[in-house]
């Protein structure tokens, strides 16, 4: 029986790119080993954070307090010599508290002039802690920065220095005094990364490592220039044509009005994922392939990033909520069915 011909790939890697992917794979292994000095477990979370960083995407971290979200993000920035900034979102937080503002200062010539004071958003990695605690006006101050890597204050624009990554956290337990993120803002996040409780053995290790002396300082593995170079490299990773089709069809199946949507999904989903989901499936697959040292995207790469890309983009119906079926279960079933059909 004749084997089907492989799908054409229009992109190709040069010899320098192949060597660069090998370097990125080695850097990824060193990053995991370095973070393991202070972070117990959370291997999947670390992989997904690395994918977001090198794919130039932002992430929404969901988990109860005490799962080392802040420590993980700050140590990730430390290993890459990146400027880290943490913003604690509260109901009284104003947009200028994030972006910065003009302050009247007295100059050398005695004249008073307005001087712009940069806010905490001017960093390489910004941790937006409990982003849903701030009112929508303040949340919206992050949208321009996330999408355009630009900040506008009093009619003046300020460019954010690359690399720029926003990692926002939400507490899934306490919802009093919170402002749910609108779908348009959720769509700006590449991944929804869920952090679960550690295992018993991991919890014992956490107790041992955090109740002793100070945590060790981590080595600086990459510079900001290295990160930017690898980000450009990820964009050049080849993708076969059939994988573009696979990603588009998977996203279209999340939409209840689409003819390809399975019958079981239609009463459970009121709104499916948009075109940005296809882009992030491909970018996530490219970044994962490069981090693992692969010179071409495979279907396995798309399958592995499907759940974090699609979960927060699928809006469930009241019927699904009444039956205890959340978006993650729906996306996981869709991905499994698509994996079996390929």
Taken as a whole, the chain contains a residue count of 342
The contacts of residue 250 (CB under 8 Å, 6+ apart) are 281, 302, 306, 310, 334, 335, 338
Q: What percent of the chain shows pLDDT beyond 70?
A: 93
* pLDDT averaged over every residue in the chain: 86
The CA–CA distances, whole Å, from 84 to 55, 63, 163, 337 equal: 18, 21, 11, 40
Per-residue b/e over 55-73, b at no fewer than 16 CB within 10 Å? bbbbbbbbbeeebbbbebb
Q: What is residue 176's predicted lDDT score, i.e. its pLDDT?
A: 57
Looking at the whole model, is its pTM more than 0.85?
yes
Taking only the tens place, the pLDDT of each residue in 1-52 is: 333 444 455 566 677 888 999 999 999 999 999 888 888 888 899 999 999 9
β-bridge partners, 88: 129
Where helices occur in 151-298 by DSSP H, the ranges are: 183-186, 200-210, 224-235, 241-252, 275-291
Residue appearing with tokens 């402002």:
179
Rg (CA), the chain: 22
Cα(286)–Cα(266) distance, integer angstroms: 31
pLDDT digits over 58-98, tens only?
A: 999 988 777 778 888 888 888 888 899 999 888 888 888 89
- Work out the average pLDDT over 280-291: 96
The 165-170 sheet, strands edge to edge: 84-88, 125-129, 165-170, 58-62, 189-194
The helix/strand/coil state of 82 is coil
Residues facing residue 62 across a β-bridge: 170, 194
Q: What does the pLDDT look like over 128-143, one tens digit per residue?
A: 888 888 888 888 888 8
CA distance 263 to 246: 19
Given this model, what pLDDT does residue 63 score?
80
Query: What pLDDT is recorded for position 171?
Result: 72
Query: In this structure, what DSSP letter does residue 258 have?
Result: S
CB atoms within 10 A of CB 260: 9
pLDDT of residue 177: 55
CA-nearest of 52, 318, 313 to 184 is 313
Residue 222 has pLDDT above 80, yes or no: yes
H or E stretch including 78?
helix 69-79
The half-sphere exposure of 17 on its side-chain side, counting CA atoms within 13 A, is 16
Tokens coding 284 = 């996530």
Which pLDDT value is given to residue 308? 95
**CB neighbours of 156 closer than 8 A, spacing ≥ 6?**
116
- Asked if the bond preceding 163 is cis, omega within 30° of 0, the reply is yes
Q: Are strands 125-129 and 150-153 parallel, antiparallel or unpaired?
A: unpaired
Cα separations (Å) of 150 from 74, 123, 154, 201?
23, 12, 13, 44
**Distance in angstroms (rounded) separating the CA atoms of residues 236 and 246:** 19
């Amino acid at each position: 029986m004749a084997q089907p011909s492989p799908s054409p790939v229009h992109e190709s890697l040069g010899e320098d790119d192949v060597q660069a992917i090998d370097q990125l794979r080695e850097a990824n292994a060193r990053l995991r080993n370095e973070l393991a000095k202070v972070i117990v477990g959370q291997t999947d979370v670390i992989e997904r954070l690395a994918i977001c960083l090198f794919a130039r995407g932002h992430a929404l971290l969901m988990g109860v307090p005490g799962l080392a979200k802040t420590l993980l993000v700050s140590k990730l920035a430390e290993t890459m010599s990146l400027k880290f900034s943490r913003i604690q979102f509260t109901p009284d937080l104003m947009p200028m508290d994030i972006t910065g503002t003009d302050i009247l200062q007295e100059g050398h010539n005695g004249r008073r002039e307005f001087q712009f004071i940069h806010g905490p958003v001017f960093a390489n990695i910004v941790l937006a802690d409990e982003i849903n605690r701030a009112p929508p006006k303040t949340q919206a101050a992050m949208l321009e920065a996330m999408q355009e890597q630009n900040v506008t204050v009093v009619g003046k624009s300020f460019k954010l220095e690359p690399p720029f990554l926003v990692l926002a956290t939400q507490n899934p337990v306490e919802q009093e005094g919170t402002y749910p993120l609108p779908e348009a803002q959720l769509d700006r996040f590449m991944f929804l990364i869920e952090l679960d409780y550690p295992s018993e053995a991991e919890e014992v290790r956490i107790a041992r490592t955090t109740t002793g002396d100070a945590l060790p300082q981590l080595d600086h593995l990459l510079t900001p220039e290295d990160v930017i170079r690898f980000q450009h490299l990820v964009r050049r990773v080849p993708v076969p044509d059939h994988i573009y089709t696979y990603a588009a069809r998977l996203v279209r199946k999340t939409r209840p009005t689409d003819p390809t949507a399975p019958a079981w999904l239609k009463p459970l989903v009121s709104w499916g994922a948009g075109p940005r989901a296809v882009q992030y499936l491909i970018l996530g697959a490219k970044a994962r392939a490069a981090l693992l040292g692969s010179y071409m995207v495979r279907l396995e790469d798309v399958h592995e990033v499907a759940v974090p890309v699609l979960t927060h983009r699928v809006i469930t119906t009241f019927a699904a909520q009444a039956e205890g079926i959340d978006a993650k279960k729906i996306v996981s079933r869709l991905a499994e069915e698509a994996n079996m059909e390929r």
